[in-house]
Chain A
């Protein structure tokens, strides 16, 4: 057993209101620079939708992630020799228009325009060329199903849904959407690291953050195509790759990441997961339907004495082990089995997790009146017995979060519904009857667990939601340098601005 610790984030999709505050916090902190204007290390996209960059899930086009043929695991992008042959031109690389051309407006025109009959306008200016441009697309162009004929109905995750379901979803009465916040997944088997010819990208052992060493990056740009989530970006100005750094300077000083800290809906949780690095091959190389089980297996129980011993042997501090025991990520992912990784079939073993969203209550039109779709024989109008009738098709969620395995999604949805039904009985009716307890059992849970899920879902305070252990940077410094020498060095020396080379 080779125990390593990982800082993971959890997104409770039911709570996301799609306000993009996370994206703005991230942009203001990290990507508000020349060459980075078009980058959104954190973005929130509407599902169903085309996403950002457009159609990023189309791996036939972008060739991201890994392929498993039953025996060997291969990068979908290239073999090592093949990658070196494609350095001069990488056919799978997205171009700027797949994201959007960043723009601003010439605001001075509003003040400097000569007096006239018309209102002056501020014309859009390209942030790249500095010249006037026509805006064709922009960040979140398809927000809230905008332009859904072009975007949402071409969502890759509809691919194996029956035609009837797809047609239904386009009807105004059945139309449904949700939000999907996305950051770098800081994968355990990152395709970007594997694809980098320079070896500039690496995974930090102590918390699993995947980082680009920009001093080693040579702009071969294979990482950008290889990342199936398209979360590595090319800075066209400096000629270097950049990506989400999980706000490690904040984590190291005990603060939550900017996106999590600013989250209005408080959908984000941060916590440590312990995993077994020796089991990674078994986790990535199983059939699609078994990926989630394998993924849950690689995460270790932080209360298991053997695990604790192995963790200590690997140099994981006790503060990290106790953080792993308190981790909301551990509870939602492993204990309650409610949270799933995004697109596990890319086999990068992503370490950011999502709790799938519940659907709005189904209604029907009868005599031109909207009615809840409830009949006598149904126990609850949440459709506990008919999750397949949910407005977000189970198969659609399965395509996103469980490599197409619908039974995993159904179990999660039923458990989430059980929490709702139980709490409604408790707070509205005031009594928990036998029927409700039977329903909990059917959902594979019990009253105690339901209460715990309810509490962590609805009422977490900051210390519950963000369990950030001490990073002990001092010991990292000690490993490299004499602390007294280091103390004398800080604040001195020349700083080289990250400017484009000649």
Chain B
């Protein structure tokens, strides 16, 4: 089907190109616009329930996806024992619901709090809707098409790897139910929107903080003598 080719063989490359190129451009030439745009100053109670639930839920779920991509065999071995499979599935589902609940609170907060609405841009709503679709379809898939922790490794792990070697195996995803397809297409859209939206703050997560010294002192003026050595003007 032509649509499958567009969505699963062309769209991913457009999205990835945009994500990489625009992110680099924005980080270098528009650094002022890169911010997590926190609104905690304006409202904190709903943010507490929304932000913590959403962020921790989604980070753990995403790490789960990454695990299935990088260690498919290990995951299958783990799932070989039913009790471990049920435990993993349930944990994933619970985290997904946690993230979805957080998102709902965040959307409610954004629409109901006057102060937060004052700093809301259309892009903020686009981002929220995309992320909600992602979480909602994810939770539904986990309930309706069970044991995704296992079938992901045989469908999506090879599909995603095939994208990276530029030989997309569309035939792997073509026969999937529309709900799962929506989840995937929505992810590619999210990837395309990523560099144009506040989502870009994900890659600025400051891990460098763990290793840098506490204090930062910047010398604008070099020590006399060394500056002359570095810039031998008039010579």
CA distance A330 to B212 in the complex (A): 33
> Is A301 at the interface (CB under 8 A from chain B)?
no
Which among B32, B197, B230, B233 is the interface contact of A215 at CB below 8 angstroms?
A: B32
The interface on chain A, measured as residues whose beta carbon lies within 8 A of the other chain's beta carbons, has a size of 62
Instruction: Give the complex CA separation of A224 and B40 in angstroms.
Output: 12
Q: Is the CB of A221 within 8 A of B206?
A: no
Contact A237 B119 (CB under 8 A): yes
Q: Hey, which chain B residues are within 8 Å of A128, CB to CB?
A: 42, 115, 118
Chain A residues positioned under 8 Å from B219 (CB to CB): 205-206
List the B side residues contacting A81 at CB < 8 Å.
Answer: 210
Give the distance in Å from the alpha carbon of A193 to the alpha carbon of B44 in the complex.
Answer: 24
Residue among A80, A219, A502 having the largest count of chain B Cβ atoms under 10 Å = A502
Min CB distance B1 to A, Å, is 34
Using Cβ atoms and an 8 Å threshold, which residues of chain A touch B84? none
Which residues of B sit under 8 angstroms from A190, Cβ to Cβ? 215
0 or 1 for each of A221-258: is its CB under 8 Å from B? (1 = yes):
10010000000001011111000000000000000000
Q: How far is the CB of B116 from chain A (nearest CB, A)?
A: 10
Q: Is A218 an interface position by the 8 A CB rule? A: yes
Cα distance, A90 to B52, chains bound together (Å): 10
| B36 touches A (CB below 8 Å) | yes
Quick one: which of A55-84 are within 8 Å of B by CB?
75, 80-81, 83-84
Residue interface mask A82-119, B partner, CB < 8 A = 1: 01100111110111100000000000000000000000
The answer to whether A129 and B117 have CB atoms under 8 Å apart is yes
Q: Is the CB–CB distance between A479 and B222 below 8 Å?
A: yes
A89-B47, A315-B222 are known contacts. Are A221 and B41 too (CB-CB below 8 A)? yes
Q: Which residues of B from 173 to 203 have beta carbons under 8 Å from A?
A: 196-198, 201
* Interface bits B39-69 vs A (CB < 8 Å: 1, else 0): 1111110011001101110000000000000
Please judge, given known A-B contacts A204-B218, A205-B218, A479-B220, whether A220 and B36 are in contact too, CB under 8 Å: yes
Q: Is the CB of A218 within 8 A of B196?
A: no
Residues of B within 8 A of A129 (CB): 114-115, 117-118
Query: A189 to B217, alpha carbons, bound, how many Å?
Result: 10
Stretch at the interface among A151-159, A172-180, A194-202, A427-435: A194-202
Contact A205 B40 (CB under 8 A): no
* Interface contact A236-B35, CB-CB below 8 Å: no
B121 touches A500 (CB 8 A): yes
Q: Within 8 Å of chain A (Cβ to Cβ): is B33?
A: yes
Specify the chain B residue showing the minimal Cβ separation from A237: B119
Bound together, the chains give a CA A77 to CA B108 distance in angstroms of: 30
Contact of A197 with B41 in the complex, beta carbons under 8 Å: no
Question: Contact mask A133-160 → B, CB, 8 Å, 1/0?
Answer: 0000000000000000000000000000
Residues in B whose Cβ lies below 8 Å from that of A189: 215
Which B residues lie within 8 Å of A80 (CB)? 209-210
Q: Are B35 and A93 in contact (CB under 8 A)?
A: no
Q: Name the A residues within 8 Å of B205 (CB-CB).
A: 84, 87
* B204, A218: Cβ atoms closer than 8 Å: yes
Contacting A at CB under 8 A, from B7-50, are: 30-44, 47-48
Residues of A contacting B201 in the complex (Cβ-Cβ under 8 angstroms): 218-219
Q: Which residues of A contact B206 (CB under 8 A)?
A: 84, 87, 197-199, 218, 220
Q: Which residue of A83, A224, A236 is within 8 Å of B42 (Cβ)?
A: A236
Q: Is A276 an interface residue (CB 8 A)?
A: no
> Which residues on the A side are within 8 Å of B118 (C-beta)?
128-130
**Which A residues are in CB contact (< 8 Å) with B35?**
217-219, 238-240, 500-501
Interface size, chain B (Cβ < 8 Å): 57
Are A314 and B30 CB-contacts (below 8 A) given A194-B214, A217-B35, A239-B37? Answer: no
A502 touches B198 (CB 8 A): yes
A203 within 8 A of B: yes
Give the docked Cα–Cα distance between A476 and B230 (Å): 13
Distance (whole angstroms) from the CB of A286 to the closest CB of chain B: 18
Docked-complex contact B215 and A203, CB < 8 angstroms: yes
B36 / chain A contacts, CB cutoff of 8 Å: 87, 218-220, 239
Knowing A197-B209, A221-B41, A315-B221 are in contact, say whether A89-B32 is a contact too (CB < 8 A): no
Residues of B within 8 A of A196 (CB): 209
CA distance A485 to B128 in the complex (A): 47
| B165 proximity list for chain A (CB < 8 A) | none
Residues from chain A with a CB closer than 8 A to the CB of B112 are none
Chain A residue with the shortest CB-CB distance to B197: A502
Question: Is A236 in contact with B119, judged by CB distance below 8 angstroms?
Answer: yes
Residues of B within 8 A of A203 (CB): 215-218
CA distance A482 to B234 in the complex (A): 11
Once bound together, how far apart are the Cα atoms of A214 and B51, in whole Å?
A: 24
Q: How far is the CA of A499 from the CA of B31 in the complex (A)?
A: 11
Set of chain A residues within 8 Å of B34, measured between Cβ atoms: 218, 501
Closest Cβ–Cβ distance, residue A34 to chain B (whole Å)? 10
Q: Which residue of A is nearest B47, CB measured?
A: A89
- Judge whether B32 and A88 touch: CB under 8 Å: no
Question: Is A216 an interface residue, CB under 8 A from the partner?
Answer: yes
Report chain A residues within 8 Å CB of B40.
89-90, 93, 95, 221
Rank and list the top 8 A-B pairs by shortest CB-CB distance, nearest first.
Answer: A501-B33, A197-B206, A215-B31, A239-B35, A239-B37, A315-B223, A205-B219, A202-B216
Interface residues of B (CB under 8 A from A): 30-44, 47-48, 51-52, 54-56, 114-115, 117-119, 121, 123-124, 196-198, 201, 204-210, 212, 214-224, 227, 230-231, 233
A-B contact pairs, 5 of them (CB 8 A): A198-B209, A203-B218, A205-B220, A476-B220, A479-B222
